[in-house]
Structure 1
Amino acid sequence: MPVYFIDVILPIPLRQAFTYNVNKDEAGFLKPGMRVAVPFGKSKIYTGIVYAIHQNDPPTYETKSIDQILDETPIITATQLKHWEWMANYYMCTLGEVIRAALPSAFLLESETIITLRKDVEFDEGTLNDEEFVVFEALQNQSSLHINDIRNILDRTHVVGVIQNLIEKGVVTVQEELFEQYKPKLKRYLKLKAPFHEEASLRELLDELSRAPKQRNVLMTLFMLSATEKNVESVLLQKKADSTASVIKTLIDKGILEEYYLQKDRMEYTGDAPSEAKGLSPAQQVAFQEIEASFKETDITLLHGVTSSGKTEIYVKLMEEMLETGKQILYILPEIALTTQLISRLQHYFGKKVAVYHSKYSNNERVEVWQQALQQKQKAQIVIGARSALFLPFQNLGFVIVDEEHEPSFKQYNPAPRYHARDTVLVLAQLHKAKVLMGSATPSLESYYNAKDGKYGLVVLKERFGNVLMPEMELVDIRDKLKKKRMSGHFSDRLLEEMEEALQNKEQVILFQNRRGYSPIVECTTCGVSPQCPNCDVSLTYHQHKDQLRCHYCGYSMAMLISCLACGSETLDSKGFGTEQIEEELKELFPNHSVARMDQDTTKGKHAYAKLIERMEDKDIDILVGTQMLAKGLDFRDVSLVGVMNADNLLNFPDFRAHERSFQLLQQVAGRAGRTQKRGKVIIQSYNPYHQILRQVSTNDYEGMYKEQTEERYQFKYPPHYRIIKITVKHRNFSTMDKASKWFAEVLKMPLKEHVLGPVSPPVGRIRNEFITNILVKIPKENSLSRSKGYILKAQQRFLAVKEFSRVKLTVDVDNY
C-alpha cells in the first residue's frame, strides 16, 4: 500500500523542510501553498506551509501525521514561493524566516499564539458550533488564552481549525499591539435654514433682527463667506463676524441657522466617483513619453525628477494605462507617513481600487488585503504600502512603482530576512514579467550607476510643476553668529527673521533636526560624568516632557537625576539639542503660533501620522519641527520656509554613505519648501558652511556629488563597485565574543584573503548587554557572489559545530547599505 508524505516549511529559522505522513485522500486534496497544523517536538503546534507532496520517499526519521488541513485552496502562490526561495538564498537566511516575515500573524497560529475576543464587531452567537461556543464562553471570563489552554478546555489536540474558524467569523483575533482607535476629525459647519433661502422671507428676517445687531452681523458675514466658500466653518464665521459661540447658539435655537458636520477621513473611501487625473505639464508629458519608450527597451526605468516636479502625476497616468489591461499594480513607499498622504490622492483618482498594506495595520486588516490580492479583486487592483507589501500574493502583477527609491528605510535590518525592498521587488517584477519605475529626486548611487551603465532606462525631469523655481538656499555660519552674539538659543538671527516674515504672511514653517529628545547628553559640570545606559554603551538622552533619561537603543529609562551619581554635585548641564528642545524654544519665541513635533515619540499610534499631516494641511500648525520623517516626500502647499537647525551631525557620521545620505536628506528637506507659486526659502545652519556637500546641496548639484562619491567609493572598495556582506557577532561575555569573531574571520580569510576586514567594534560596542563586533566581506564585481556566499555558509556550519560558541549569535547581512 503506497505511503504519502508532505514536506512542510515551518516558520522557524531551520534550513530544512520537515516531512509528515498523510493518507491518500489528504495527499489528493493538498497542494503546495496550503497551510497545515502540525505537531513539532513534544508539545508544540505550528502552522506550516505545504512545500511538496510525494510518495514512497520516506525521510530517515520516523514521520508524524499532520493535525489538520487549514485551507480549502492555497493561500500562497507558486510565484511567491519561488520569490521567497530567492530571498532566502540571496539574503542567506532560511525559508522559514522569510515566511514568518511575509505572512500576517493570524495565518501562522502556533502553540505560543495568544487569542483575544474582538470587542469591535457584532456577531450572531447562533452561527457558532458547540466547540467554538465553548472557546467563546471561556474568553468571556478571561481576557486572553494560549492555544495550549484551548487544547485543555476542549480536551483535544487538534484545535487550530476551531480557532481558524473563529478568526474567520470575526469572533476572536490574534493578540497584537493595541493600536489606538482613530476618531476622524469632525468639523462643524453652518448654513441658513431652508425657509430663509427665498428673498422675501430673508428680508423679513433681517428686518426682525434690526434690534439684535450681533445676530444680524453674523448673518451678513455668513452671506459674505458663502460667496467664496462652499462650506462655512463655524469657527471661521465666529472669527470673521467677531462674535461669540452664544450668539451662534441663539441663531440655531431660533431655527435660523442649521449646523452640520463633515469629517475628513483617510481610510475607507466613501468619496464621490473618482475624478480625472490632472493634465500633465509639457515637461511631464515629455518625461511620460520617454518612460513609455524606455519600457519598450528595458523592464526597469529610473525617473530622476527634482522635488515637486510632479512625479506622482506621471505615476498616476502610467497606472491609468496599466489598469486598462486588468493587471495588478504595486506602489511601494519607504515610510508609513507617506502612504498616509498618498492614499487620499490615489483614492481621488482610482476610488475603491486602492488597497493599503503596512505594519501599522491590524491583523484583520492585513488578512483582508491578502485575500483581496489573492482573489484578484477590484478592491486590490492597486496596492499601496511600505516594504512588507511586496510579500502579497499577486496573481497578475503588471507594474511596480518604487517611490523615493534612495530611502534607507527600504532596508530591513532586523530580524531576518535582512532584505532591501527595492532590490527584492525587482526580482518579484521579473518573475511576473512586470515593468518597474523607480522615482527619486536624489537617486541612490547604485541605481544611478546602473542607469548610467545601461542596465536601467533613465528619464530626467528637471523643472518643478508649474515652473515654480527651486527654493533659494542660504548657508548660515553658526560659529560666526555666536561670535557676533546673534544667536537666540539655537536660532540664528537670519532664521528668525525669515520665520517671522513667513508667519506674518500666514505661511507655514518646517524645521529639521535629526535628533529626538530634549538633549542627547546630560553632563555633570563638576566631574564631567554623564549618565550611561546600564545595558548599552551609550549616554542616556534627556526627554523633558516625561522628565526622563532614556536609551534609544534598548528603551531603558529612569527619572531625571537631581544630582550627579558619581560626585553628588547638583550642577547637571545638558549638551546638544533634539526636537523637544527646539519645540520648547519655539513656544517661547512664538507664543501666539501653534507648534507641533513629528518624530518617533509623537507618531507611535496607528493614525498619529494621519493626524499630524491632517493638522498641517488644515493649517492648524504654523511651525512643524521634526526628524528625517519630514524629508520623505510629504507635500504641503503652504510651507514657504524650511530651516535645518544643524547640518553637521549628519556630515560627521561614521559611515561610508554619510555624505550621500546628507545630500539626499538636505535636498529632500529643502524640497518641502515653496511647492506652489511663491518661491520657497531654505536656511541651513552649520559650523562648517564651506563643506563640499553643503555647497553641492545649495547649488542642487547631484551630478557633482555623484561623480565625487563614486570616485571615492572606487578607491575605498565600496558599492556600487563592490558588494558588501556584514557578519555581526554578539555575546554577553566580551572574551567569548572576541574569540568567536577572530575565529570566524580567520576561517573566512583562508579562501577570501584580503576581501575580509575585521573584526572591528562598531561605534556603539554594547547593546542590550551584548558585546558586538563586525566582520566585513567586500566582494569585487568580477568575483562570483554565490561562491563567496558558499564560503561564508561553510564557515557558519563549522562555527555552529564548535561547542564553545554555541550561545554566540551570528547574523549575516547581505548588501549592508
Structure 2
Amino acid sequence: MSYFLDVILPLPLERYFSYRITAAEAGMIQLGMRVAVPFGKSKIYTGIAVAVRENIEVAYDIKDIEFVIDEAPILQKGQIKFWEWIASYYLCSVGQVMKAALPKSLLLESETIIQRNEETTVEDDELTDQEFLIMEALENRKAMKVDEVASLLDRKTVLPILRNMLSKHLIILQEELYNTYRAKTEKYISLAPEFQDEDALRELLDSMTRAPKQREVLMTLFMMRAGDKPVKSKDLETRSKATRAVMKSLIDKKILLETEQEVSRMLMDRQTGHELYELNDAQEVAYNEIKTAFEDDKVCLLHGVTSSGKTEIYVKLIEEYLVLGKQCLYLLPEIALTTQLIGRLQHYFKHQVLVYHSKYNLNERQEVWNLVLDAHEPYVVIGARSALLLPFADLGLIIVDEEHETSFKQFDPAPRYHARDSSIVLGKMKSSQILLGSATPSLESYYNTTIGKFELVELKKRYNNVLMPEINMIDIKEKHRKKRMTGHFSDTLIEAMTQAFKNDEQVILFQNRRGFAPIMECNTCGHAPQCPNCDVSLTVHQHRGQMRCHYCGYHTFIPKECIACSSTDLDTKGFGTEQIEAEFLEIFPQRKIARMDLDTTRGKYSYEKLIDQVENREVDALVGTQMLTKGLDFRHVSLVGVLNADAMLNFPDFRSHERCFQLLTQVAGRAGRTEKRGTVLLQSYNPYHMILQQVSTYDYKTMFKEQLQDRYQFKYPPYQRLIRITFKHRDYNTTLQAGEWFVGALNQIEHGVEVLGPEFPPVSRVRNLFNVHVLVKMGKTHSPETIKGFIAKVKRSFESIKQYRAVRCNIDVDCY
C-alpha cells in the first residue's frame, strides 16, 4: 500500500501538493508538523502536513519528502481551518496565510551552497581573476553561500561566473536547509563540589591572601547564591567588580564551574503581580454589562470616551480569564501603544505577559510562538494584527482596542485581512469572548449594535469625573488677514502654549504629515521636483538635507537652484512635522520639543525612548502625526494644538469625514487626563464645517446618523460590501487594457452587483508600475461566496492570457 502526504507550501498557489511517504512516516506524521519537501527543479521548502492519504491519483510525478522536521506539531488543532477561512474570505492562498503566520525562523528555506570540487585540479593561470578569488576563498573555507560570493566579488550578478565554473567542474553546488533560530543562552557560575563545604571554602579563602580580587569573587558568590543554585556570570562580575580575566583564572583552576543555560528572551523573572485597581461605579456598571453580553455569547462593543478607564476594565477581565487558566489576546493598532501598555500589564501580571509584533527579531518571535503553543500556563499576548495568527491552545478572551483604526487592515502583501473582523471569526471558532473598544467606533461596528448583532456598552464620563477637554476653533483665514500668524502658529495658540509652560504643563502639536514640506517649487518657472518612479512630488526633509518620496523611498539632495531654469528663487509649499518643530524652536528657544513620526520611530526601542522622555518631563512639547492619536496616556499634557484640521476633510475617500472625526476626537483626548480640564485648539480655514462642529461638541451620534445616511444613498459600507481589484504593470496601455478585459468579464456577474472602473487612482504610478483600480459593490441580498468564486474564476482565466501574464492582479476584500 502506498502512502501520500498533502502539504501546504508557503507559495501563492491555490491547492495543496502531495508527496510520497513511507508507512513508518505515515504512522508518525501528525497534522501541523513541518516537513522539508522538494519543489521545482532544485528548491526545498518547508511544508505543513495537512493529511495522510492512501493510493491517490494525480496528474504529475509524485516526489518523496526530504525529511520530517518536527517531532510534534507546531500548530494547534483548528489553526489550519482558520487559515483556510482567511484564504477563502480574503481571496488568497493558504500558503500566503502560512507565510504571514509563521515566524520566518520556522520557515526553513534552501540556500545554494558552493563547495570546491576536490577531484578537479587546475593551474592558477587557467582561471580568470574572479574564479581565482572564489577558489582561494574556498581553500580557507569548506563552503560559501551565493550572497557571500557576491560580497567577495563586490558585484550583484555572480550566477554566470558560477555557471561557468560548474561547467569546468571547479565547484559543486549543494542545496542545504537552514534554520535561522538561535536559542539565547546565559553563562552561570557555581562553586566546584569539593569547595561546597564551609570548612573547605574557609581553607581556600585563607590560602588566597595574595589574590585579593579572586578572593572577593568567591566571597561575593557565597553571599549571592541561594542554596546550591548557580549565579549569573554577568551579575557576579558586576557585584564583585571583577574583570572577566579574574573569573577565567578561577574557572581554569577548577575552583569555579561555568555552565551555559538556555534562557527565554520574552519572560520576566517569576514574581507576584500587584493588586488591581478598584473599578469606580461607572466602570463597575460597564463591566457587569460586558459580562452579561458574554453570557449571551455576543460580541461586545465598549464605547467609552477618551480617558474613561477602558484599560482598567480590560485588566479586570484578563485577570478573570487567566485565573480560569485561559489565554488572552490583546490587539492594538500601533506598536507605540504596546510600549505603554506592556508596563501597565506587567505591573499586574508580571511573567504572564508576552509581546508579539514586527519590531521584534526572529528569535524573539519564535520564542513567543513556542510559549503560546506549549501553553504550560496561561499568558496574555499583547500585539499588533499578526498576533492573531499565533497558535492559541485555549483562548478565552480577545480584546481589540481602538477597533476603528485602519492599521488593523493589512494592505500588502496578501493575506489582506482585517484583524478586527478575523478576530471575531477566530473567537467564534475557539468559543472565546470578544470585546471591541474605542472612543470613536467605526461606523460598521456601531451600526452592528443598532441592528442587534453586537451588544453596546457605554462609558460616558472620564475617570475621576474629569471634564472632557474644551475644544475651541481658530479661524486662520481671519488670523492671516489680521496678520496675527507667526509661521503656522496663530497668536491664540502661542498664548495658550506660553500659559501652559508657565504652569509647568506639556503641549502636544498635531500635524498629520511628516517631513518639512510636501512640495518645493521654483517661483520663476513653477517647476517642482518629482519622484522618477512615482507620480508624486518629493517631500523636503530638512534635517537630513534630502528630498524623499514617501511611496518608494527614492531620495536625492535638496537642490540649491531650479533644475529646469537654474533660478535660485525656490520656495516650499505646505508644511509637515519637521517645519512645526523648527518654528516652535524659533518661538520658544528655551523649550525642548520631541517629534514622533515615521522618521523618528524606526528603531526597536525608539517609541519607548520618546514616550519615556514625555513621561519623565524631559520635553515640553511633542509634535507628531497620527501616531499621537492612538490611545497614548500622558499625565501632564494640558493643551493640544491641531495645526491644520482641514487637510483630512478634503481627502478623496468616502471615509474622510468619519476618519477626520475619529482622528481629531482621539488627539483631543490626549489633553487633561488627570485632574485639570484640558484645552484643545483647532486651527482651520473652515471652522464652521459640519464635522469640525461635531468634534467640538463630541457629538458622535449626530456624525454617525449623517454619515450613515450618505453611505445608504451612495451605496457604501455598512450597506454594501466592497472588493477592489488592482492591476499593476510598467506599461500604461497594458494596465488599462487588463482592467478593461477584467471589467468586461465581470459584467456577466449576477444582477444588482455594480462593477466600477477601470480607473486610475490619484497616484497612478508607484515604483514605476501603473495602477488601475476596479471596484465591485455588492448588496446584502447577494451571496459573497458566489461573487468571490466568480471573481476568482475570472482571475484564473485572466492569468492564462499570454499578453496579461506580466500584469499583477491583487484582490482586496473589504477594502476600507
Q: Secondary structure at the match of 1:450?
A: helix
What is the aligned counterpart of 2:181 among 167, 173, 181?
167
1:78 to partner: Cα distance: 2.5
Q: Which residue of 2 aligns with 1:345?
A: 344
Q: Which residue of 2 aligns with 1:280?
A: 279
Q: Which residue of 2 aligns with 1:774?
A: 773
**Residue 486 (str. 1) matches residue 500 (str. 2):** no
Q: Quick one: which amino acid aligns to residue 631 of structure 1?
A: T
Structure 1 pair 493–269 and aligned structure 2 pair: CA distance change class (3 A): farther
Q: How does 1:131-170 map to 2 (within 5 A)?
A: 159-160=176-177, 163-164=178-179, 167-168=181-182
Structure 1 pair 153–500 and aligned structure 2 pair: CA distance change class (3 A): farther
Deviations 1:312-371 (A, max 9, x none): 000111111111210110000000000010000000011110000001100000000000
Partners of 1:723 and 1:341 in 2: how far apart? Answer: 36
In the alignment, is the contact (CA less than 8 A) between 1:35 and 1:50 conserved in 2?
A: yes
Q: Secondary structure at the match of 1:343?
A: helix
What is the aligned counterpart of 1:612 among 600, 610, 613?
610
In the alignment, is the contact (CA less than 8 A) between 2:466 and 2:674 conserved in 1?
A: yes
Q: Which residue of 2 aligns with 1:29?
A: 28
1:752 to partner: Cα distance: 4.2
Partners of 1:276 and 1:153 in 2: how far apart? Answer: 70
In the alignment, is the contact (CA less than 8 A) between 2:266 and 2:354 conserved in 1?
A: no
Structure 1 pair 60–279 and aligned structure 2 pair: CA distance change class (3 A): same
In the alignment, is the contact (CA less than 8 A) between 2:181 and 2:362 conserved in 1?
A: no
In the alignment, is the contact (CA less than 8 A) between 1:67 and 1:158 conserved in 2?
A: no
In the alignment, is the contact (CA less than 8 A) between 2:183 and 2:363 conserved in 1?
A: no
Partners of 2:636 and 2:112 in 1: how far apart? Answer: 48
Percentage identity across paired residues of the two chains: 57
Q: Which residue of 1 aligns with 2:703?
A: 705
1:293 to partner: Cα distance: 1.2
Structure 1 pair 496–113 and aligned structure 2 pair: CA distance change class (3 A): farther
What is the aligned counterpart of 1:414 among 393, 412, 415?
412
In the superposition, the TM-score normalised over structure 1's length comes to 0.83
In the alignment, is the contact (CA less than 8 A) between 1:532 and 1:539 conserved in 2?
A: yes
Q: Which residue of 1 aligns with 2:739?
A: 741
Partners of 1:80 and 1:271 in 2: how far apart? Answer: 30
Structure 1 pair 764–47 and aligned structure 2 pair: CA distance change class (3 A): same
Q: How does 1:518-537 map to 2 (within 5 A)?
A: 518-537=516-535
Partners of 1:145 and 1:514 in 2: how far apart? Answer: 45
Q: Secondary structure at the match of 2:662?
A: helix
1:269 to partner: Cα distance: 3.8
Q: CA RMSD in A?
A: 2.4
Partners of 1:12 and 1:114 in 2: how far apart? Answer: 23
Q: Which residue of 2 aligns with 1:680?
A: 678
In the alignment, is the contact (CA less than 8 A) between 2:329 and 2:382 conserved in 1?
A: yes
Partners of 1:156 and 1:692 in 2: how far apart? Answer: 68
Structure 1 pair 61–674 and aligned structure 2 pair: CA distance change class (3 A): same
Partners of 1:569 and 1:155 in 2: how far apart? Answer: 60
Partners of 2:442 and 2:804 in 1: how far apart? Answer: 38
1:299 to partner: Cα distance: 2.9
Partners of 1:25 and 1:298 in 2: how far apart? Answer: 44
1:141 to partner: Cα distance: 12
1:607 to partner: Cα distance: 0.8
Deviations 1:352-407 (A, max 9, x none): 100000011000000000000000033x6111100000000000001000000000
Q: Which residue of 2 aligns with 1:257?
A: none
1:138 to partner: Cα distance: 6.3
1:41 to partner: Cα distance: 0.9
Q: Quick one: which amino acid aligns to residue 798 of structure 2?
A: F
Q: Secondary structure at the match of 1:111?
A: strand
Structure 1 pair 711–169 and aligned structure 2 pair: CA distance change class (3 A): closer
Q: Once structures 1 and 2 are overlaid, which stretch shifts more, 300-309 or 561-570?
A: 561-570
**Residue 69 (str. 1) matches residue 68 (str. 2):** yes
Deviations 1:184-221 (A, max 9, x none): xxxxxxxxxxxxxxxxxxxxxxxxxxxxxxxxxxxxxx
Partners of 1:454 and 1:514 in 2: how far apart? Answer: 36
Q: Secondary structure at the match of 1:349?
A: helix
Q: Quick one: which amino acid aligns to residue 782 of structure 1?
A: T
Q: Which residue of 2 aligns with 1:405?
A: 403
Q: Which residue of 2 aligns with 1:634?
A: 632
Deviations 1:262-303 (A, max 9, x none): xxxx97645963111111111111111111112112331000
Partners of 2:597 and 2:5 in 1: how far apart? Answer: 48
Partners of 2:329 and 2:635 in 1: how far apart? Answer: 27
Q: How many residue pairs get matched? A: 698
Q: Which residue of 2 aligns with 1:802?
A: 801
Partners of 1:23 and 1:513 in 2: how far apart? Answer: 63
In the alignment, is the contact (CA less than 8 A) between 1:38 and 1:68 conserved in 2?
A: yes
Q: Which residue of 1 aligns with 2:235?
A: none
Q: How does 1:364-403 map to 2 (within 5 A)?
A: 364-378=363-377, 381-403=379-401
Q: Which residue of 2 aligns with 1:644?
A: 642
Structure 1 pair 140–7 and aligned structure 2 pair: CA distance change class (3 A): closer
Partners of 1:498 and 1:631 in 2: how far apart? Answer: 21
In the alignment, is the contact (CA less than 8 A) between 1:139 and 1:145 conserved in 2?
A: no
Q: Secondary structure at the match of 1:751?
A: coil
- Extract unaligned runs of 5+ from structure 1: 116-133, 172-265
Partners of 1:547 and 1:480 in 2: how far apart? Answer: 34
Partners of 1:479 and 1:732 in 2: how far apart? Answer: 43
Deviations 1:667-707 (A, max 9, x none): 00000000000000000000000000000000000000000
**Residue 54 (str. 1) matches residue 66 (str. 2):** no
Q: Which residue of 1 aligns with 2:792?
A: 793
Q: Secondary structure at the match of 1:92?
A: coil
Q: Quick one: which amino acid aligns to residue 503 of structure 2?
A: N
In the alignment, is the contact (CA less than 8 A) between 2:327 and 2:394 conserved in 1?
A: yes
Partners of 1:384 and 1:167 in 2: how far apart? Answer: 22
Partners of 1:102 and 1:144 in 2: how far apart? Answer: 29
In the superposition, the TM-score normalised over structure 2's length comes to 0.83
Partners of 2:112 and 2:759 in 1: how far apart? Answer: 39
Partners of 1:139 and 1:498 in 2: how far apart? Answer: 67
Q: Which residue of 2 aligns with 1:755?
A: 754
Partners of 1:727 and 1:745 in 2: how far apart? Answer: 10
Q: Once structures 1 and 2 are overlaid, which stretch shifts more, 666-675 or 25-34?
A: 25-34
Q: Secondary structure at the match of 1:582?
A: helix
Q: Quick one: which amino acid aligns to residue 167 of structure 1?
A: Y
What is the aligned counterpart of 1:497 among 481, 495, 510?
495
**Residue 328 (str. 1) matches residue 327 (str. 2):** yes
Partners of 2:723 and 2:392 in 1: how far apart? Answer: 30
In the alignment, is the contact (CA less than 8 A) between 2:112 and 2:146 conserved in 1?
A: no
Q: Which residue of 2 aligns with 1:425?
A: 423
Q: How does 1:72-471 map to 2 (within 5 A)?
A: 72-112=71-111, 159-160=176-177, 163-164=178-179, 167-168=181-182, 269=268, 273-378=272-377, 381-471=379-469
Deviations 1:218-268 (A, max 9, x none): xxxxxxxxxxxxxxxxxxxxxxxxxxxxxxxxxxxxxxxxxxxxxxxx976
Deviations 1:442-467 (A, max 9, x none): 00000000011100111000000000
Partners of 1:546 and 1:608 in 2: how far apart? Answer: 18
Q: Which residue of 2 aligns with 1:180?
A: none
Partners of 1:52 and 1:145 in 2: how far apart? Answer: 40
1:790 to partner: Cα distance: 1.4
Q: Secondary structure at the match of 1:563?
A: coil
In the alignment, is the contact (CA less than 8 A) between 2:266 and 2:367 conserved in 1?
A: no
Deviations 1:122-146 (A, max 9, x none): xxxxxxxxxxxx9x98699999699
Partners of 2:334 and 2:452 in 1: how far apart? Answer: 29
Partners of 1:153 and 1:82 in 2: how far apart? Answer: 49
Structure 1 pair 511–272 and aligned structure 2 pair: CA distance change class (3 A): farther
Q: Quick one: which amino acid aligns to residue 31 of structure 2?
A: P
Q: Which residue of 2 aligns with 1:263?
A: none
Q: Which residue of 2 aligns with 1:696?
A: 694
In the alignment, is the contact (CA less than 8 A) between 2:181 and 2:366 conserved in 1?
A: no
Q: Secondary structure at the match of 1:750?
A: coil
4+ long deviations beyond 6 Å: 136-146, 152-156
Deviations 1:110-131 (A, max 9, x none): 125999xxxxxxxxxxxxxxxx
Partners of 1:272 and 1:373 in 2: how far apart? Answer: 20
Q: Secondary structure at the match of 1:650?
A: coil
Q: Secondary structure at the match of 2:109?
A: coil
In the alignment, is the contact (CA less than 8 A) between 2:110 and 2:175 conserved in 1?
A: no
Partners of 2:511 and 2:595 in 1: how far apart? Answer: 11
**Residue 547 (str. 1) matches residue 545 (str. 2):** yes
Q: Secondary structure at the match of 2:691?
A: helix
Structure 1 pair 140–312 and aligned structure 2 pair: CA distance change class (3 A): farther
Partners of 1:137 and 1:53 in 2: how far apart? Answer: 42
